[in-house]
Homo-oligomer: A and B are copies of this chain.
Amino acid sequence: MQEPIKIYNTAVEAFLEVIGGKWKPVILFHLTFGKKRNGELMRLMSGVTQKMLTQQLGELVEAGIVARISYNQVPPKVEYELTEYGWSLKELLHLMCRWGDIHAERVYGDKVSILFTPPQVEDKENTGP
């Protein structure tokens, strides 16, 4: 049989099915700046629990977007990095960041604080001190 086994209304839904988790875009965003260890991600993403981080990372690994590199040693060392396929999301993720940045300023003005701001976004305007 050649019937479709999967039906989407739009391809956007296919995107959301993979990237739609609460923390996934944030994880991926951080990985666009290089491979990261579990602990690093925990520190970067204040608010996430170990369980959620592990779970979401696992789903991203299954989807072929993130690679998990485990060094067999003790204490354990595990690194996560984007696969080649995963890198195709970089532009998207950085656009999200830029839009969020503009939106945050639009809504909160100078009463918002963004802890991690990549170099690129900072370039948008060089408002001196």
Q: Which of A25-77 contact B (CB under 8 A)?
A: 25-26, 29-30, 44-47
- Of residues 91 through 127 on chain A, the ones whose CB sits less than 8 Å from some CB of chain B are 91-93, 95-104, 106, 108, 110-117, 121
A25-B16, A89-B99, A96-B15 known; A114-B10 Cβ under 8 A: yes
Report copies per complex: 2
Contact A6 B115 (CB under 8 A): no
CA gap between A15 and B100 in the complex, in Å: 4
- Closest residue on chain B to residue A10 by CB atoms: B116
B47 A115 Cβ-Cβ under 8 A: no
Known contacts A9-B26, A9-B47, A92-B95: does B100 contact A4 (CB below 8 Å)? Answer: no
Interface centre among A4, A12, A15, A22 (most CB of B within 10 A): A12
